Amino acid sequence: MKYNPEERHRKSIRLREYDYSEPNWYYVTICTYDRKNLFGDIKNSKMVLNDFGKFVNEEWLRTKELRKNIDLDEYVIMPNHFHGILIIERRDTARCVPTSINDKRKFGEMQPGSLSAIIRSFKSAVTKRINELKNVQGKEVWQKGFYEHIIRNEHDLYNIRKYIGLNPFKWEIDEYYQSE
């Protein structure tokens, strides 16, 4: 079934009282705009990245280089989405210190150093590189937002790593599968 962005009107799934700049392990899924297959193809149960997929890989690894307070774990780039585990090891105090005593953020506001800020930067960098290669401006690459899950224990981590590792093998039954 072809994805129809008009059918879904998602509300935030973020925990209202949770600080997403807190040190923790996070599992994220990011989908392409209209779930278009942009990043390569699955061949013999292996993901073969095209140039766009290579940009995703390079920018994901660059995410860690730019932010010394994070680490990366398992990840997979699929034709129309990305799964990854990102670890915020400590607060990036240079970016997270309030500028005033009354600096309370409202729910939904972007907090520097938060998971959302990190993912926004990653998506932006990939989008810029893809649009430069295509010689276009402002073309959507990603869907708005992303899915996240706070990894709560070793069992959870094991299952997510297993899911990520098996994703290319299960492409044709994947919920994000789109045949061309």
Residue 151 belongs to some domain of the structure: yes
Q: 3-state secondary structure string, the chain? A: CCCCHHHCCCCCCCCCCCCCCCCEEEEEEEEEHHHCCCCEEEECCEEEECHHHHHHHHHHHHHHHHCCCEEEEEEEECCCEEEEEEEECCCCHHHHCCCCCCCCCCCCCCCCCCHHHHHHHHHHHHHHHHHHHHCCCCCCCECCCCEEEECCCHHHHHHHHHHHHHHHHHHHHCCCCCCC
pLDDT band of residue 124 (cuts 50, 70, 90) is very high
pLDDT exceeds 60 at position 89: yes
Instruction: Identify which has the larger pLDDT, 91 or 164.
Output: 164
Average pLDDT over residues 13-34: 81
Residue 179 belongs to some domain of the structure: no
Percent of the chain with pLDDT over 70: 77
| Domain extent for 57 | 19-91+110-172
Residue 100 belongs to some domain of the structure: no
CATH number at residue 40: 3.30.70.1290
- What's the confidence (pLDDT) of residue 7? 56
Q: pTM above the 0.85 mark?
A: no
Average confidence score pLDDT of the chain: 85
Number of folded domains that form the chain:
1
Residue 52 belongs to some domain of the structure: yes
pLDDT exceeds 70 at position 148: yes
Residue 72 belongs to some domain of the structure: yes
